[in-house]
Amino acid sequence: MSEQIQDILDDVEQLVSLPAACVRLNELVDDPTSSVDDISKVINQDVALTARLLRVANSPLYGFSTQIDTVTRAVTVLGTQQVRDLSLATAAVKTFDGIPNDLVSMDSFWEHSILTALCARTLAMDCLKRQREAVFVAGLLHDIGQLVLYHLLPDLSREALEACLDGPNELESQEAERDIIGFDHAEVGGELAHRWSLPTLTQECIAYHHNPEEAQQNRVETAIVHIANSIATLAELNTTALDNAPLIQPVAWKLTGLDEEVIAPTIASAMAQIGSARALLLGN
Protein backbone atom coordinates (compact mmCIF):
# COMPACT_ATOMS: atom_id res chain seq x y z
CA MET A 1 0.00 0.00 0.00
CA SER A 2 1.49 3.35 -1.05
CA GLU A 3 2.42 6.02 1.49
CA GLN A 4 0.07 8.40 -0.32
CA ILE A 5 -2.92 6.15 0.36
CA GLN A 6 -1.87 5.90 3.99
CA ASP A 7 -1.64 9.69 4.22
CA ILE A 8 -5.07 10.09 2.62
CA LEU A 9 -6.61 7.66 5.07
CA ASP A 10 -4.94 9.43 7.99
CA ASP A 11 -6.67 12.60 6.81
CA VAL A 12 -10.08 11.01 6.26
CA GLU A 13 -10.03 9.27 9.64
CA GLN A 14 -9.83 12.71 11.24
CA LEU A 15 -13.12 13.56 9.50
CA VAL A 16 -15.15 10.37 9.79
CA SER A 17 -15.21 7.29 11.97
CA LEU A 18 -17.66 4.56 12.79
CA PRO A 19 -19.70 5.02 15.98
CA ALA A 20 -18.13 3.45 19.05
CA ALA A 21 -21.07 1.04 19.29
CA CYS A 22 -20.31 -0.33 15.82
CA VAL A 23 -16.63 -0.79 16.64
CA ARG A 24 -17.50 -2.68 19.82
CA LEU A 25 -20.23 -4.66 18.04
CA ASN A 26 -17.74 -5.77 15.41
CA GLU A 27 -15.38 -7.00 18.14
CA LEU A 28 -18.12 -8.90 19.96
CA VAL A 29 -19.39 -10.70 16.87
CA ASP A 30 -15.88 -11.97 16.21
CA ASP A 31 -15.52 -13.08 19.83
CA PRO A 32 -16.82 -16.66 20.28
CA THR A 33 -17.33 -16.07 24.00
CA SER A 34 -19.78 -13.18 23.55
CA SER A 35 -23.52 -13.71 23.96
CA VAL A 36 -26.71 -12.34 22.39
CA ASP A 37 -27.17 -10.24 25.54
CA ASP A 38 -23.67 -8.77 25.21
CA ILE A 39 -24.34 -7.76 21.60
CA SER A 40 -27.82 -6.42 22.35
CA LYS A 41 -26.53 -4.26 25.22
CA VAL A 42 -23.96 -2.59 22.97
CA ILE A 43 -26.53 -1.78 20.29
CA ASN A 44 -29.04 -0.51 22.84
CA GLN A 45 -26.50 2.03 24.08
CA ASP A 46 -26.73 3.81 20.72
CA VAL A 47 -30.28 5.11 20.28
CA ALA A 48 -29.86 6.03 16.62
CA LEU A 49 -28.29 2.68 15.75
CA THR A 50 -31.07 0.84 17.59
CA ALA A 51 -33.74 2.73 15.68
CA ARG A 52 -32.11 2.10 12.32
CA LEU A 53 -31.62 -1.60 13.01
CA LEU A 54 -35.23 -2.16 14.07
CA ARG A 55 -36.46 -0.19 11.08
CA VAL A 56 -34.47 -2.41 8.72
CA ALA A 57 -35.47 -5.62 10.51
CA ASN A 58 -39.16 -4.72 10.16
CA SER A 59 -38.85 -3.66 6.53
CA PRO A 60 -40.15 -5.45 3.42
CA LEU A 61 -36.55 -6.58 2.80
CA TYR A 62 -37.23 -9.31 5.37
CA GLY A 63 -40.99 -9.66 5.44
CA PHE A 64 -41.30 -11.13 8.91
CA SER A 65 -44.91 -11.84 9.84
CA THR A 66 -44.52 -10.51 13.39
CA GLN A 67 -43.10 -7.24 14.64
CA ILE A 68 -39.49 -7.25 15.81
CA ASP A 69 -39.70 -4.78 18.66
CA THR A 70 -36.45 -5.33 20.58
CA VAL A 71 -32.80 -5.51 19.68
CA THR A 72 -32.51 -8.88 21.42
CA ARG A 73 -35.23 -10.31 19.19
CA ALA A 74 -33.55 -8.82 16.11
CA VAL A 75 -30.26 -10.46 17.06
CA THR A 76 -32.00 -13.77 17.75
CA VAL A 77 -34.05 -13.79 14.54
CA LEU A 78 -31.50 -12.32 12.14
CA GLY A 79 -28.34 -13.75 13.69
CA THR A 80 -25.34 -11.95 15.11
CA GLN A 81 -23.43 -11.63 11.85
CA GLN A 82 -26.40 -10.23 9.94
CA VAL A 83 -27.12 -7.74 12.71
CA ARG A 84 -23.46 -6.69 12.66
CA ASP A 85 -23.50 -6.32 8.87
CA LEU A 86 -26.72 -4.30 8.81
CA SER A 87 -25.59 -2.10 11.70
CA LEU A 88 -22.33 -1.36 9.91
CA ALA A 89 -24.18 -0.58 6.70
CA THR A 90 -26.58 1.93 8.20
CA ALA A 91 -23.83 3.55 10.28
CA ALA A 92 -21.44 3.82 7.32
CA VAL A 93 -24.09 5.44 5.14
CA LYS A 94 -24.70 8.09 7.80
CA THR A 95 -20.97 8.57 8.30
CA PHE A 96 -20.07 8.96 4.63
CA ASP A 97 -23.10 11.02 3.79
CA GLY A 98 -21.47 13.82 5.74
CA ILE A 99 -18.33 13.98 3.60
CA PRO A 100 -18.75 16.97 1.27
CA ASN A 101 -17.67 16.93 -2.36
CA ASP A 102 -18.32 19.04 -5.43
CA LEU A 103 -17.93 16.33 -8.05
CA VAL A 104 -20.99 14.08 -7.78
CA SER A 105 -24.52 14.23 -6.44
CA MET A 106 -24.80 12.28 -3.22
CA ASP A 107 -28.28 11.22 -4.30
CA SER A 108 -26.90 9.61 -7.44
CA PHE A 109 -23.96 8.10 -5.54
CA TRP A 110 -26.21 6.38 -3.00
CA GLU A 111 -28.74 5.42 -5.67
CA HIS A 112 -26.05 3.41 -7.45
CA SER A 113 -24.69 2.02 -4.17
CA ILE A 114 -28.12 0.86 -2.96
CA LEU A 115 -28.95 -0.66 -6.35
CA THR A 116 -25.64 -2.54 -6.26
CA ALA A 117 -26.45 -3.80 -2.76
CA LEU A 118 -29.92 -4.96 -3.81
CA CYS A 119 -28.56 -6.65 -6.94
CA ALA A 120 -25.84 -8.38 -4.91
CA ARG A 121 -28.39 -9.65 -2.41
CA THR A 122 -30.58 -11.02 -5.21
CA LEU A 123 -27.65 -12.69 -6.98
CA ALA A 124 -26.47 -14.20 -3.70
CA MET A 125 -29.79 -16.00 -3.34
CA ASP A 126 -28.89 -17.97 -6.46
CA CYS A 127 -25.34 -18.96 -5.60
CA LEU A 128 -24.73 -18.56 -1.87
CA LYS A 129 -26.23 -20.39 1.07
CA ARG A 130 -24.80 -17.86 3.52
CA GLN A 131 -23.44 -14.31 3.54
CA ARG A 132 -26.40 -12.76 1.71
CA GLU A 133 -26.52 -9.75 4.01
CA ALA A 134 -22.75 -9.51 3.96
CA VAL A 135 -22.71 -9.05 0.19
CA PHE A 136 -25.58 -6.55 0.53
CA VAL A 137 -23.36 -4.49 2.82
CA ALA A 138 -20.33 -4.93 0.58
CA GLY A 139 -22.38 -3.79 -2.41
CA LEU A 140 -23.59 -0.78 -0.48
CA LEU A 141 -20.05 0.26 0.46
CA HIS A 142 -18.16 -0.83 -2.67
CA ASP A 143 -17.49 2.72 -3.88
CA ILE A 144 -16.73 4.46 -0.56
CA GLY A 145 -13.20 5.04 -1.80
CA GLN A 146 -14.64 7.39 -4.41
CA LEU A 147 -16.02 9.67 -1.71
CA VAL A 148 -12.62 9.77 -0.05
CA LEU A 149 -10.89 10.71 -3.31
CA TYR A 150 -13.55 13.24 -4.30
CA HIS A 151 -13.16 15.01 -0.97
CA LEU A 152 -9.40 14.91 -0.49
CA LEU A 153 -8.13 14.90 -4.10
CA PRO A 154 -10.88 16.81 -5.93
CA ASP A 155 -8.80 18.17 -8.82
CA LEU A 156 -7.22 14.84 -9.73
CA SER A 157 -10.55 13.10 -9.26
CA ARG A 158 -12.23 15.58 -11.60
CA GLU A 159 -9.53 14.92 -14.18
CA ALA A 160 -10.11 11.17 -13.86
CA LEU A 161 -13.88 11.59 -14.23
CA GLU A 162 -13.38 13.73 -17.32
CA ALA A 163 -11.05 11.12 -18.79
CA CYS A 164 -13.82 8.54 -18.45
CA LEU A 165 -16.42 10.78 -20.06
CA ASP A 166 -14.36 12.45 -22.77
CA GLY A 167 -11.45 10.14 -23.45
CA PRO A 168 -11.21 8.36 -26.80
CA ASN A 169 -10.50 4.97 -25.24
CA GLU A 170 -13.55 4.73 -22.94
CA LEU A 171 -11.51 4.17 -19.80
CA GLU A 172 -13.18 2.55 -16.82
CA SER A 173 -13.17 4.74 -13.70
CA GLN A 174 -10.54 2.69 -11.90
CA GLU A 175 -8.25 2.74 -14.96
CA ALA A 176 -8.49 6.51 -15.24
CA GLU A 177 -7.80 6.90 -11.51
CA ARG A 178 -4.71 4.70 -11.71
CA ASP A 179 -3.43 6.62 -14.75
CA ILE A 180 -4.00 10.06 -13.21
CA ILE A 181 -3.84 9.59 -9.43
CA GLY A 182 -1.61 6.52 -9.22
CA PHE A 183 -4.14 4.27 -7.47
CA ASP A 184 -7.89 3.75 -7.58
CA HIS A 185 -10.96 4.11 -5.37
CA ALA A 186 -11.18 0.37 -4.77
CA GLU A 187 -7.72 0.31 -3.17
CA VAL A 188 -8.58 3.28 -0.99
CA GLY A 189 -11.95 1.87 0.04
CA GLY A 190 -10.53 -1.56 0.81
CA GLU A 191 -7.76 -0.12 2.96
CA LEU A 192 -10.22 2.08 4.85
CA ALA A 193 -12.41 -0.97 5.50
CA HIS A 194 -9.30 -2.73 6.82
CA ARG A 195 -8.46 0.17 9.13
CA TRP A 196 -12.00 0.10 10.45
CA SER A 197 -11.65 -3.66 11.08
CA LEU A 198 -14.65 -4.43 8.93
CA PRO A 199 -15.10 -8.13 8.11
CA THR A 200 -12.54 -9.59 5.70
CA LEU A 201 -15.34 -10.35 3.25
CA THR A 202 -16.31 -6.65 3.18
CA GLN A 203 -12.69 -5.58 2.78
CA GLU A 204 -12.11 -7.91 -0.17
CA CYS A 205 -15.37 -7.11 -1.94
CA ILE A 206 -14.56 -3.40 -1.77
CA ALA A 207 -10.88 -3.72 -2.70
CA TYR A 208 -11.38 -6.15 -5.60
CA HIS A 209 -14.86 -5.36 -6.92
CA HIS A 210 -13.33 -4.54 -10.31
CA ASN A 211 -10.98 -7.55 -10.27
CA PRO A 212 -12.66 -10.39 -8.35
CA GLU A 213 -10.02 -12.94 -9.29
CA GLU A 214 -7.57 -11.08 -7.03
CA ALA A 215 -9.59 -11.76 -3.87
CA GLN A 216 -7.88 -14.29 -1.62
CA GLN A 217 -10.64 -15.64 0.66
CA ASN A 218 -14.01 -14.48 -0.68
CA ARG A 219 -13.81 -14.76 -4.45
CA VAL A 220 -17.43 -15.79 -5.03
CA GLU A 221 -18.76 -12.95 -2.88
CA THR A 222 -16.42 -10.48 -4.57
CA ALA A 223 -17.54 -11.74 -7.98
CA ILE A 224 -21.16 -11.21 -6.96
CA VAL A 225 -20.48 -7.57 -6.06
CA HIS A 226 -18.53 -7.18 -9.32
CA ILE A 227 -21.51 -8.40 -11.36
CA ALA A 228 -23.97 -6.43 -9.23
CA ASN A 229 -22.06 -3.21 -9.87
CA SER A 230 -22.58 -3.58 -13.61
CA ILE A 231 -26.20 -4.67 -13.33
CA ALA A 232 -26.91 -1.66 -11.09
CA THR A 233 -25.55 0.60 -13.83
CA LEU A 234 -27.89 -1.05 -16.33
CA ALA A 235 -30.80 -0.52 -13.93
CA GLU A 236 -29.97 3.18 -13.74
CA LEU A 237 -29.93 3.39 -17.54
CA ASN A 238 -33.09 1.29 -17.92
CA THR A 239 -31.44 -1.21 -20.24
CA THR A 240 -30.20 -4.80 -20.17
CA ALA A 241 -27.50 -4.28 -22.84
CA LEU A 242 -24.19 -5.15 -21.18
CA ASP A 243 -22.15 -2.90 -23.46
CA ASN A 244 -23.66 0.05 -21.55
CA ALA A 245 -22.14 -1.05 -18.23
CA PRO A 246 -18.67 -1.69 -16.83
CA LEU A 247 -17.24 -4.87 -18.30
CA ILE A 248 -18.11 -8.01 -16.36
CA GLN A 249 -15.01 -10.18 -16.15
CA PRO A 250 -15.61 -13.73 -17.52
CA VAL A 251 -14.08 -15.14 -14.34
CA ALA A 252 -16.94 -13.58 -12.33
CA TRP A 253 -19.55 -15.59 -14.24
CA LYS A 254 -17.41 -18.70 -13.76
CA LEU A 255 -16.91 -18.17 -10.03
CA THR A 256 -20.61 -17.62 -9.36
CA GLY A 257 -22.04 -20.12 -11.84
CA LEU A 258 -24.34 -17.36 -13.10
CA ASP A 259 -24.88 -16.11 -16.63
CA GLU A 260 -26.45 -13.19 -18.44
CA GLU A 261 -29.93 -14.65 -17.96
CA VAL A 262 -29.92 -13.23 -14.42
CA ILE A 263 -29.66 -9.63 -15.57
CA ALA A 264 -33.30 -8.81 -16.34
CA PRO A 265 -34.85 -10.45 -13.25
CA THR A 266 -32.16 -8.95 -11.00
CA ILE A 267 -32.90 -5.48 -12.34
CA ALA A 268 -36.62 -6.02 -11.84
CA SER A 269 -36.10 -7.16 -8.26
CA ALA A 270 -33.80 -4.24 -7.41
CA MET A 271 -36.11 -1.64 -8.93
CA ALA A 272 -39.05 -3.05 -6.97
CA GLN A 273 -37.13 -2.54 -3.72
CA ILE A 274 -35.16 0.65 -4.34
CA GLY A 275 -37.79 3.01 -2.93
CA SER A 276 -38.12 1.26 0.40
CA ALA A 277 -34.37 0.64 0.63
CA ARG A 278 -33.63 4.34 0.07
CA ALA A 279 -36.10 5.29 2.78
CA LEU A 280 -34.55 2.80 5.19
CA LEU A 281 -30.93 3.68 4.59
CA LEU A 282 -31.10 7.38 3.75
CA GLY A 283 -34.26 8.38 5.55
CA ASN A 284 -35.91 9.81 2.43
Q: What is the pLDDT of residues 113-146, one digit of tens each?
A: 999 999 999 999 888 767 677 899 999 999 999 9
Q: Is the pLDDT of residue 231 over 60?
A: yes
pLDDT, position 112: 95
Q: State yes or no: pLDDT of 190 exceeds 50.
A: yes
Determine the Cα–Cα distance for residues 218 and 215; give it in Å rounded to an integer. 6
Q: Domain spans of the chain?
A: 17-88, 98-282
Per-residue pLDDT, 1: 54
Angle at 10 between CA 8 and CA 12, to 5 degrees: 70
According to DSSP, residue 170 is labeled -
Q: Is the per-residue pLDDT at 254 higher than 90?
A: yes
Phi, psi for residue 170 in degrees, rounded to 5: 50, 60
pLDDT tens column, 42-89:
999 988 889 888 888 888 877 787 889 999 998 888 888 888 888 888
- CA-nearest of 153, 173, 152 to 162 is 173
Q: How many angstroms separate the CA atoms of 94 and 99, rounded?
A: 10
| CB count in 10 Å sphere of residue 143 | 23
Contact yes or no for 118/169 (Cβ under 8 A): no
**Would you give the distance in Å from CA 279 to the centre of its chain?**
17
For 98-282, the fitting CATH number among 3.40.50.300, 3.30.300.30, 1.20.1090.10, 1.10.3210.10 is: 1.10.3210.10
Q: Rounded distance, CA 169 to CA 166, Å? A: 9
